Structure 1
Amino acid sequence: MTTVLFLSGSPSFSSKTDKLLRQIEEAFQNKGANTFFYSVTDVPPADLVFAHFNSQAVASIIKKVEVADVIVIGSPIYKASVTGVLKSLIDLFPERSFAGKTILPIATGGTLAHYLALDYSFTPVLQTLGATTILKSIFILDTHLKRTEIGVEIVSKEGKERIDKAIEHLLNKVWASSYES
């Protein structure tokens, strides 16, 4: 069975990014994938600020990274980069943690000026952790997301198509590789 880890870098408890990742997680669950969801808010702030490599919360996430076939990482973009708290968490991961994993970076942001932030500031971090299969990043404008009672609705046709295409691509890739094994 395929295992997909969702990792949200949003420090907000009412995050559109979290809700968007949860919808993508549901699509994987509906296809029979085993999923896990973590947010940076699941880690005590002191563990991140003081780089507690032996943190129980961080160790739990690292164990899920180790068993994941696919990692979907989402973050709002602040000041042309993923959140500092997400970077602080990832800095605690062991070297080569993402080797052999398929990675899908997703970001939300307030302006198209941040569109390339994932490619230029985050992809090198993922590569440093050993990631070689990094899918094309997805960027969704905040104005293309609308909060609803059940989560977040993507109100832009282009944004919905990009998310749907990425999910389909990932599912096909993951299912194909599970048949090869």
Structure 2
Amino acid sequence: MKSAKAITKERGKNMTKVTLIVGANSLSSRLNGLVAYAQQVLFEYKIQTQVIQVHMLPAEALMTADYTDKTIQAVNQQVLNSDGVLVFTPIFQGSYSGILKAYLDVLPPKALQDKVVYGLGLGGSKHHLLALQYALEPVLKELGTEELLQSTFATQDQVVKDGRDFIIEDSVTNRIDEQLYRFTSRIGHEVIKEEARWEKIV
């Protein structure tokens, strides 16, 4: 007979795990409003999440592509152990952020293979929308993902900082809800509160 501790440990190993890779330059970035919202939705689905804030990783290791750095190895292992990955980036001058690129460059080859991947971007105007499709998504495919959902883009005026919180336009949260529903289904996770979720989307 297994002890309660052993059963809890076994359940932890079998829990659906999703890693959120965030390419913002600071925690105060409005991009983190999208991160917090996505985490909230995944929490409702009872999915375990872990966040990699790229700007908090060792700068020298990123700049020199030091694969042997212990912190880099640890976060890379988180990605490898995940069932799915969300990638968040601000859009600057028609491309994703430089620090996100630096981190994607130190991921192992085919690190996203057998994982469902979903990208989210935040930019100054709708003209930056195609940066996700033509700049970020090809890199994610190069890293091995064959399950790449259509990315979601929001403009900065759709995410407003309110003290420590963020207010996000319904048009954005509805699109995120819809894609995260697909995301959780694709990773084989039992969808919780299916009817309520679709009522919100519709």
| TM superposition score normalised by structure 2 | 0.83
1:82 to 72, 77, 96: 96
- Contact 1:65–1:97 (CA under 8 A) maintained in structure 2: yes
- Contact 1:42–1:57 (CA under 8 A) maintained in structure 2: no
1:147 aligned to 2:154? no
1:45-124 correspondence to structure 2 within 5 Å:
45-124=59-138
Identity %: 24
Larger radius of gyration: 2
Counterpart AA for 2:173? K
Q: What secondary structure is seen at the aligned counterpart in 1 of 2:74?
A: helix
The aligned counterpart of 2:37 is: 23
Q: What secondary structure is seen at the aligned counterpart in 2 of 1:91?
A: helix
CA distance in 2, matches of 1:162, 1:172: 16
Counterpart AA for 1:166? Q
1:171 aligned to 2:187? no
In structure 1, the gaps of 5 or more residues are none
Counterpart AA for 2:125? T
Deviates more, 1:69-78 or 1:142-151: 142-151
Q: What secondary structure is seen at the aligned counterpart in 1 of 2:106?
A: coil
Counterpart AA for 1:154? I
Once the 2 structures are TM-superposed, how far is the Cα of residue 172 of structure 1 from its aligned partner?
Answer: 2.8
CA distance in 2, matches of 1:36, 1:12: 17
CA distance in 2, matches of 1:140, 1:11: 17
| TM superposition score normalised by structure 1 | 0.92
Once the 2 structures are TM-superposed, how far is the Cα of residue 41 of structure 1 from its aligned partner?
Answer: 1.7
Q: What secondary structure is seen at the aligned counterpart in 2 of 1:73?
A: strand
Once the 2 structures are TM-superposed, how far is the Cα of residue 30 of structure 1 from its aligned partner?
Answer: 2.4
CA distance in 2, matches of 1:12, 1:178: 31
Q: 1:117-141 CA deviation, whole Å, 9 max, x = no partner? A: 0110111111111011100010000
CA distance in 2, matches of 1:22, 1:61: 19
Q: What secondary structure is seen at the aligned counterpart in 1 of 2:118?
A: strand
In structure 2, the gaps of 5 or more residues are 1-14, 191-202
1:3 to 17, 20, 23: 17
- How many residues are aligned here? 176
CA distance in 1, matches of 2:40, 2:182: 16
Counterpart AA for 1:132? E
CA distance in 1, matches of 2:181, 2:164: 22
